[in-house]
Amino acid sequence: MPDRACEREVQEIPLLCEHLRRAGVPYTCGEPLREHTTFRIGGPAAVFCRPRTVQELAAALAACRACGVRMYLLGNGSNVLFADGGFAGAVVSTAALTAEPAFAPQPDGGALVTAPAGLPLSALCAAAQRRGLTGLEFAYGIPGTLGGAVYMNAGAYGGEIGDVLESVELLDETGAARRLPAAALALGYRTSLFAQRPWCITAAAFHLQPGDPAAILARMRELLQRRKDRQPLELPSAGSTFKRPPGAYAGKLIEECGLRGLRVGGAAVSEKHCGFVVNVGGATCADVLALTDRIARTVYERTGHTLEREIRVVE
């Protein structure tokens, strides 16, 4: 962002705080973003908003628009890398939007499950399992919120959100509430229409089928154990660092290039799974960017495959 824009944005922060105070939206200033990401990296946010309801969320977004302050929507920060200098605008967290899912029986014997954007994906999977509803087992253990999962069409073990997503509720760039069917969301590999629009997901509905609760639970536990066995869950990371390149797997390419354990500062290629860059202690955003650039360059030079970061870098 140009320096003048940054200066203007900083000048508008007190006005934004006044708008938030009047609207009753909880917020703090100078909040360390490393406390709100799974990577445990990131400088302070000029303003960090914690709306508790969709109404407060709408008020926070309206205040940012009215004050001309840049805004970033954050779930539980599982796929985000914030800059070491932080974020000069407002980070709006949806993590408090965690009401219990609603279940509506469907004619085919399944159910339409509607849940808010801030609900952890694993909590949604567990709620569906208790109701004997199948279709979300693949998502159990994905460390993100429902909103973030829809935004990036999260997936694992042969399944993805788009397979069961029915519709999404959102606030558009004007603050108007809308509902769109899944077919209108341009869902693709780790992407959706939300990557191209300044919209905020508030809730989503999933069409799930009936199943045996015990079998569903067993599958969820099996996939969670596979995660624990194969992924470096014991260290801070942002999940899979790179998208899967056509016809190959990022982790395998990185391993074949002899990059296991490669380190820049506090960031390192995981010894357990080369598809993960982990924070082994005191890693900075600059460390991660330097390391991932080196990985991508080496893999391209040796294999011809182009690696694209899956992690969202926010400056």
Summarize pLDDT for 198-217 with one digit per residue, the tens.
999 999 999 999 999 999 99
Both 152 and 72 in a single domain? Answer: no
Q: Is 310 a catalytic residue?
A: yes
Both 129 and 187 in a single domain? Answer: yes
Burial of 158 (C-beta count, 10 Å sphere; 0-12/13-18/19+): exposed
Q: Is 237 a catalytic residue?
A: no
Q: What is the overall mean pLDDT for the chain?
A: 95
Report pLDDT for 10. 60
146-160 mean pLDDT: 95
172 phi and psi angles, rounded to 5 deg: -85, -170
Domain count, the chain: 3
Report pLDDT for 209. 98
Q: Is 240 a catalytic residue?
A: yes
Q: What is the pLDDT of residues 80-113, one digit of tens each?
A: 999 999 999 999 999 999 999 999 999 999 999 9
Q: What is the pLDDT of residues 61-71, one digit of tens each?
A: 999 999 999 99
| Active-site residue identified among 122, 240, 270, 309 | 240
Containing H/E element for 159? strand 159-160
Both 64 and 109 in a single domain? Answer: no
User: How far is CA 55 from each of CA 60, 61, 68, 177, rounded to the nearest angstrom?
Assistant: 9, 10, 20, 11
Both 121 and 216 in a single domain? Answer: yes
How far apart are the C-alpha atoms of 212 and 216, rounded to whole Å?
A: 6
Is the distance from CB of 144 to CB of 79 less than 8 angstroms? yes
Give me the amino acid identity at 2.
P
Report pLDDT for 9. 54
Is the distance from CB of 76 to CB of 117 less than 8 angstroms? no
Report pLDDT for 11. 77
Q: Count CB atoms within 10 A of the CB of residue 15.
A: 14
156-170 mean pLDDT: 97
Both 79 and 120 in a single domain? Answer: no
Q: What is the pLDDT of residues 182-200, one digit of tens each?
A: 999 999 999 999 999 999 9
| Active-site residue identified among 190, 192, 219, 237 | 190
DSSP string of 14-68, one letter each residue: HHHHHHHHHHT--EEEEEEGGGGSTT----EEEEEE---SHHHHHHHHHHHHHHT
How far apart are the C-alpha atoms of 14 and 46, rounded to whole Å?
A: 10
Q: Domain of 276?
A: 250-314
**Domain containing residue 134: CATH number:** 3.30.465.10
Is the distance from CB of 139 to CB of 120 less than 8 angstroms? no
Report pLDDT for 5. 46
**Domain containing residue 280: CATH number:** 3.90.78.10
Alpha helix locations (H) across 177-284? 213-230, 250-256
Counting every residue, how long is the chain?
315
Query: Which of these three, 93, 111, 138, is where a domain ends?
Result: 93
Both 186 and 263 in a single domain? Answer: no
pTM higher than 0.85, yes or no?
Answer: yes
109 phi and psi angles, rounded to 5 deg: 95, -10
Is the distance from CB of 209 to CB of 109 less than 8 angstroms? yes
**Domain containing residue 56: CATH number:** 3.30.43.10
How far apart are the C-alpha atoms of 60 and 294, rounded to whole Å?
A: 39
Band (274; pLDDT cuts 50, 70, 90):
very high
Is the distance from CB of 81 to CB of 285 less than 8 angstroms? yes
The closest of 71, 65, 64, 56 to 23, measured between CA atoms, is 56
User: How far is CA 28 from each of CA 33, 41, 44, 51, 238, rounded to the nearest angstrom?
Assistant: 12, 18, 10, 12, 24
Residue 33 pLDDT greater than 80, yes or no: yes
Residue 7 pLDDT greater than 60, yes or no: no
Both 84 and 177 in a single domain? Answer: no
The closest of 121, 154, 118, 135 to 240, measured between CA atoms, is 154
Among residues of the chain, what percentage have pLDDT more than 90?
96
Report pLDDT for 199. 97
Report the largest interatomic distance among the alpha carbons of the chain, rounded to a whole angstrom.
59
Establish if 59 belongs to a structural domain.
yes
Among residues of the chain, what percentage have pLDDT more than 70?
97
